[in-house]
Amino acid sequence: MTSTIDQDHLIGTKITTDLWRNAVVYQIYPRSFADSNGDGIGDLPGITSRVPYLRWLGVNAVWLSPFYPSALADGGYDVDDHRNVDPQLGNLDDFDAMVAALHAADIKVIVDIVPNHTSNRHAWFVQALAAGRGASERDRYLFRDGRGRAGELPPNDWESIFGGSAWASSGDGQWYFHCFAAEQPDLNWENEEVREDFRRTIRFWADRGVDGFRIDVAHGLRKDLSEPYPPWGEIADLMRPDGSHPLWDRDDVHEIYADWRRIFDSYDPPRYAVAEAIVHPTRRARYASADSLGQAFNFAMQDADWRAEDYRQVIDTGLADMINSGATTSWLLGCHDTPRVATRYGLPLEDDCSAQQVARAWLLSDGAEPYLDRSLGERRSRAAIMILLALPGSTYIYQGDELGLHEVADLAPEVLEDPMASRSTTEKGRDGCRVPLPWTAQGPSYGFGAAIGHLPQPDWFGAYAVSVQEADADSTLTLYRQALALRDHLFAGSGLSWVESEPWVLHFARPGGIRCVTNFGTESVSLPAGQVLLSSAHLDHGRLPTDTTVWLRVP
């Protein structure tokens, strides 16, 4: 054994109760999960109808991407009203019924809080436009005078994350700032009304029984829009180690979370929160600390290539975060923003590109080039989830990854919904991982609903359906279910030690003689003597084949 990390004594604050420290959280993208009324759009009663599935699968919690009223300029992350349900998805009674059903199944509920921006249809933004220059209604957003004689030019050359200018004209010589789509005006977090409104939103959902919150763009709320503006070329690299970027990961953002922490902790049990903070690795722990949000996604795992050294490095950094934050890491292989893991791992690696970059370029070719090896990607992603589930910390599973689903690469331009596709010339966008789930092998939308879903499903979806896989002992779904069932019994505490092995083998020990071994190499390797508990693929005469993970108990 080469190194040991055991931080149990550091952890155990009020916010990181045992459940959240190790929870398996299933991410639901509501519009694509299950459609109860046949309008092609997944809805809250659809989720309620699938609670037995979630319980059978064995997850501890669900995180729901936004279900709030929205024109869907950005898949629901353009929120018209943070304290309501989109009528197409149901109403507040449906929400309460869904929470009751999930709680009855012992599944906690996390909702998305989108504090960086509202939609342009939000009452505040409508008022801001109508009120005109200099009005206090504009102070809730980031309006600035344009350049040029009549303000006909944007205040600076800064760019939106989705491509194009980060400024949109209000038609009266002023411009408003938007990090994302023009339909998502950024809020001004210096404004006390904005702060108070989000306190209200958090209490609103917590009072309705919500157990936790996923904080969208948690690293973005505070901004320095003072002049002179640095040129975009100087700030286009968004991650800095020192909090000096004018838009991202500024130190004073944590004041907001310290304020929210008091609200979270005023509930019994305290409400949980997880940050979507896309920050320099050295800055992640701060969001996960007990006086901030309490947990933060570790996106490095999602960005990692299928290589032992990449995984080892990501795990080491995640464990170091644990020491720095006192919270466990939140691991994930995918979410609604990233090409699906089975696809990322089924495309050939290129030296100077990450698997994620390769997959995004592949999407631009509608999936034609380079060649996708579907079964290879599925095999590797099965091995990968067994690594994540064996680590100390919490794991997020994106809906459909438990089916080994691939990205849908050949969606026609006219069906694309993601603003990234229309605003950017170099991205096809994120719709390919948001296609409605296949529940049955047949039917107009493979059991998603009675009609065709809002994004078309390809012919190959039926073979991945839940009904097909639940009956197959070797399916990806069965593996997920077995792994989740075993996990609770096998992995205690937060200790992890690396076990010396060949460079292409990832091997770690957990307390109680439990080992997790993954072979990233091209030939099978021998295993330590012990009892095999679960394996992501069949063993080869007792040896561990390539692209396979095994959990063992050693004497």
CB contact set of 113 (below 8 Å; sequence gap of 6+):
82, 198, 201, 202, 213, 214, 215, 216
Count of residues that interact with Ca ion, criterion CB under 5 A = 5
Give 77 or 311: the residue with its C-beta nearer to ligand GLC.
Answer: 77
Amino acid at 194: V
Q: Which of the ranges 29-37, 146-154, 340-348, 407-415 carries the binding residues for Ca ion, by CB under 5 A?
A: 29-37
What gap in Å lies between CA 302 and CA 317, rounded to an integer? 14
Q: Does 63 sit near ligand GLC (CB under 6 A)?
A: no
- From 69-77, 133-141, 365-373, 524-532, span contacting ligand GLC (CB under 6 A): 69-77
Of 76, 61, 99, give the one whose Cα is nearest residue 205. 99
Query: How buried is residue 520: exposed, middle or buried, by Cβ count under 10 Å (0-12/13-18/19+)?
Result: buried
The reply on whether position 337 binds ligand GLC by CB under 6 A is yes
State how far the Cα of 470 lies from the Cα of 466, in Å rounded to an integer.
6
Shortest distance, CB of residue 180 to ligand GLC, whole angstroms? 4
Q: Where are the alpha helices (DSSP H) in 10-70?
A: 18-22, 44-49, 51-57
| Termini Cα distance of the chain | 16
Contacts of 443 (CB under 8 A, 6+ apart): none
Q: Is 39 in the site for Ca ion (CB under 5 A)?
A: yes
| 75 or 545: CB nearest ligand GLC | 75
Q: Does 137 bind Ca ion (CB under 5 A)?
A: no
Nearest residue to ligand GLC, scored by beta-carbon proximity: 77
Q: Is 548 exposed, middle or buried (0-12, 13-18, 19+ CB in 10 A)?
A: buried
Q: Is 86 in the site for Ca ion (CB under 5 A)?
A: no
Q: How far is the CB of 90 from Ca ion (least distance, A)?
A: 8
Q: Which of residues 7, 37, 357, 497 is near Ca ion by CB under 5 A?
A: 37
Decide: is 450 part of the binding site for Ca ion (CB under 5 A).
Answer: no
* Cβ neighbours for 275, distance < 8 A, ≥ 6 positions apart: 215, 218, 219, 257, 287, 288, 292, 293, 295, 296, 297
Give the one residue of 77, 205, 461, 464 binding ligand GLC; rule: CB under 6 A: 77
Size of the site for ligand GLC (CB under 6 A): 10
The H or E element that residue 112 is part of is strand 108-113
74 binds ligand GLC (CB under 6 A): yes
Among 67, 68, 180, 464, binds ligand GLC (CB under 6 A): 180
Instruction: Report the nearest approach of Ca ion to the CB of residue 440 (Å).
Output: 17
Among 20, 28, 35, 216, binds Ca ion (CB under 5 A): 35
The tokens 């390919």 sit on which residue?
A: 432
| Interaction of residue 94 with Ca ion, rule CB under 5 A | no
Q: Cβ distance 24 to 58 under 8 Å?
A: yes
User: Which residues fall within 8 angstroms of residue 292, CB to CB, at 6 or more apart?
Assistant: 254, 257, 258, 261, 275, 286
Task: For ligand GLC, give the closer residue by CB, 161 or 486.
Answer: 161
Residue among 114 and 514 whose Cβ is closer to ligand GLC: 114
Residue 41 touching Ca ion (CB under 5 A): yes
Positions that interact with Ca ion (CB under 5 A): 35, 37, 39, 41, 43
Positions that interact with ligand GLC (CB under 6 A): 74-75, 77, 114, 180, 216-217, 276, 336-337
